Amino acid sequence: MWMKLIYPRWPKLPEQTEFHLPPHGPIVFAASVPPEVHLTFHDDNRGEPDLEDRPDLVALSVMLTCQVPRAKEIAGIYRRRGIPVIAGGIAVAIHSEEMAQVCDAVFLGEVEGHFQEVLDDFRARRLKKVYDRMQSLPPIEAVPPARREILDYSLYTYRGVRMVDLVHASRGCRFNCPPCSVAFLGGRCFRPRPIERVVEEVAGIDNGRLFFVDNSLAQNKAWELDLFRALKPLRRKWISHPIEADDEVLQAAYEAGAWYVYQAITAPTEGIRRRIQMYRDHGIAIEGTIILGTDDQTREDVIRLVEFCVEMDLDMAEFTVMTPFLHTPYREQVEAEGRVLHNDWSQYTTGKVVFQPKHMTPSELQDLYYWAWDRFYGADGRQTRMARLFRKVVQREKQDGTTTMPDGTVRGWVRPGQTPQIPDSPGHP
């Protein structure tokens, strides 16, 4: 049986440098596909797929709302020729009814332990329209290493250098922030993977640079410390979402290879200033993630916030506009207030204003968004800042005796069972 897995493309923010990371959702899903299934993978972001072929089954892995229109288009092309299509992933759970209308089956929830049933139904020609497993999340111990061998890594380079590999150490989040659907997806429950499984997976990745895509590592101090101490001997360098603002944790993170964090900057407060300084004191760089147009921001507030990012000289910054995604607390509110402008999901990229902001017009917010990118990157340019960030990781690698080659492989790293030779702490830059 041949199953073709497709990751639909989406429009990138034109303000960003275009690069492509190897996707994570498809390789996590692929680990649950039994070996007797002949599985091929196509990332639609990295080239036109052959949509005239005849796999036995097409599976769509859909992460973002703005991938939904393309996912529907691909599903239509195959189904018109009688080839069944199933779909899963975060955006399918969020847009379940819409996707169920255009697919033979949709899978909602986390796939581990559940996919055999779907395959059995497919083989018996009794696919159900909806496999809803949102309320029966698999035990986190059951999550196997992702199946990276389906990826063609030659597609994921930037200027000849291999991009970071994505990996996860936990699922879920215990918070419920207004613009976020993670609580809907995971029930406000933080589920850390067993640390030995994380170490095993990281050790098996032939890349010295990683991105922990966990929603936020700052969920449980004891777990963070254990995780970082276990990662340290592997000598990888990595990016993540926030880490606990705690000296002991940040020191352990630095020693474990923390390169830079994505940190939400919501307002120019003393608290966030201190947090940024703490990362810096521990040698960890910062990419700010800044949402513009929240209900508490006037035009002047947005300007102050952007100026704050300039003043703090963040290593990088990513500006987005507030977006009312389905199944978020914010969506409920703006819908009740009649402030959603449209549901054209292709525009839900976080680079386009799709709602009526509270204290300005949509076009004022749109202009502020363009201005924010220009203001922050105007003088240096994005490439210069990226190069600076890149030099930091190369420096760190030199300090602890590793060298990452352009193909991602590393000289000097440690595999499980080997005794690590850790040099004395080089201190912080």
Catalog residues that contact ligand SF4 under the rule CB under 6 A: 173, 175-177, 180, 182-183, 215-216
DSSP lists the bridge partners of residue 85 as: 58
Burial of 378: CB neighbours in 10 Å, binned 0-12, 13-18, 19+: exposed
Number of H helices, E strands in the chain: 14, 18
CA–CA separation, 197 and 144 (whole Å): 8
User: Closer CB to ligand SF4, residue 220 or residue 346?
Assistant: 220
Closest CA to 214 of 205, 223, 206, 222: 223
In the complex, minimum distance from the CB of residue 253 to ligand SF4, in angstroms, rounded to a whole number: 17
Q: Given the structure tokens 């004891």, which residue do they identify?
A: 222
Least distance to ligand SF4, CB of residue 259, Å: 20
How far apart CA 64 and CA 54 sit, in angstroms, is 26
Nearest-approach distance from CB 171 to ligand SF4, in angstroms:
11
Whether the Cβ atoms of residue 341 and residue 314 lie closer than 8 Å to each other: no
CB nearer to ligand SF4: give 180 or 386. 180
DSSP letter (8 states) at residue 242: -
Residue type for position 57 = L
- Rounded to a whole number of angstroms, the minimum distance from the CB of residue 98 to ligand SF4 is 23
C-alpha distance across the termini of the chain, in Å: 54
- Report the nearest approach of ligand SF4 to the CB of residue 328 (Å): 9
Question: In what helix (H) or strand (E) does residue 106 lie, and over which residues does it extend?
Answer: strand 105-109
Structure-block tokens of residue 357? 């902001």
The 10 Å Cβ neighbour count of residue 116 is: 11
Q: Give the C-alpha separation, 308 to 292, whole Å.
A: 13
Beta partners for residue 191, in sequence order: 171
Query: Of 44, 12, 1, which is closest to residue 26 (Cα–Cα)?
Result: 44
* Whole-number Å distance between alpha carbons of 315 and 388: 8
Which residue, 175 or 370, has its beta carbon nearer to ligand SF4?
175
The least distance separating ligand SF4 from the CB of residue 223, rounded to whole angstroms, comes to: 15
Nearer to ligand SF4, 242 or 408 (CB): 242
The residue (of 181 and 402) whose beta carbon lies closer to ligand SF4 is 181
Angle at CA 165, nearest 5°, toward 162 and 166? Answer: 150
Q: CA-CA distance, 5 to 290, in Å (whole number)?
A: 33
- Name which of 65 and 404 has its Cβ closer to ligand SF4: 65
Nearer to ligand SF4, 169 or 393 (CB): 169
Whole-angstrom CA distances from 166 to 163, 177, 206, 400 are: 9, 24, 12, 22
Q: Least distance to ligand SF4 from the beta carbon of 90, Å?
A: 12
CB of 218 to ligand SF4, least distance (A): 8
Give the DSSP letter string of 16-46: SPP--PPPSHHHHHHTTS-TTSEEEEEEGGG
Least separation, in Å, of the C-beta of 265 and ligand SF4? 13
Q: Which of 215/347 has CB closer to ligand SF4?
A: 215
Helix, strand or coil, per DSSP, at residue 114:
coil
Looking at the Cβ atoms of 105 and 217, the one nearer to ligand SF4 is: 217
Closer by beta carbon to ligand SF4, 96 or else 289: 289
Q: Which is nearer to ligand SF4, 158 or 223 (CB)?
A: 223
CB of 241 to ligand SF4, least distance (A): 7
CB of 246 to ligand SF4, least distance (A): 16
